[in-house]
Amino acid sequence: MSSQNKLVRLIARLDIKGENLIKGIHLEGLRVMGDPQVYARRYYEQGADELIYMDIVASLYGRSKLLDIVRRTAHDVFVPLTVGGGVRSIEDVSELLRAGADKVAINTAAVKRPELISEVSRRFGSQCMVLSIEAKRQNQDRWEIYTDCGREASGVDAVEWAKQAVELGAGEILVTSIDTEGTRKGFDTDLVKAVTSVVSVPVIASGGFGQQSHLTEVYAAGADAIAFADALHYNRYAMPELRNMAQELDIPVRAV
């Protein structure tokens, strides 16, 4: 039910640990890449439609350096900024928005207390409340939600959870496949399709981009936005190349 009459957004995703931009595979084996602000500014200048910052250890260890990073980035970057990791309360959301975030992404705290979705949506608007789903395939047509940055199995069905979260007020869903994340082997298009078929809000597909054909596959699965990390951080592709690829494939993206 996710509509595709709008432009598909090309998003740079930056995973943060402490003060550093990091990159892993299956959300593990993290490698330090550098100063996230430098990368964020580069992707903005290259024409990224949006940026996503995810603090990948905040839900384990409490609040982090993320507020400072967001404040600094907001001075240099003038596209929508989604920030997630360790967001547990209305106060956390409020702090991030004051620091310069446009949207917040919540995973662990929402699974533990689903009412938080409604609270954020009522207070700040549904467009601000992004449900972050990190899921692992259990069988051909079932995926399980993992919390604490892919460390803890929740027992929650990912597709049912997406549907419930939208009913509670989530205005967007970030879907990350732990199975494909960092592999360069393509998105879990079955997961993306399963989610987009049951929700009416935009869905961001994250995890697995490696080559041009993967754009066609994930767009056909219903993705409203595509997040890139590995491809950008390792300079395998620059944002303008990704945009050109999408245009060649007749995927409707913003002209820059």
Dihedral (Cα; 66, 177, 249, 54), 10-degree rounding: 0
Find the catalytic residue in 50, 134, 144, 172.
134
> Nearest CA to 14 among 42, 5, 6?
42
The token duo for 234 is 């390792």
**15 included as an active-site residue:** yes
Distances from the Cα of 40 to the Cα of 73, 95, 210, 252, angstroms: 7, 20, 20, 24
User: 85-98 burial, b for 16+ CB within 10 Å, e for fewer?
Assistant: bbbbeeebbebbbe
**134 included as an active-site residue:** yes
C-alpha 128/C-alpha 113 separation (Å) is: 18
Amino acid, res. 110: A
Dihedral (Cα; 163, 165, 169, 175), 10-degree rounding: -90
Q: Catalytic residues, which ones?
A: 15, 134
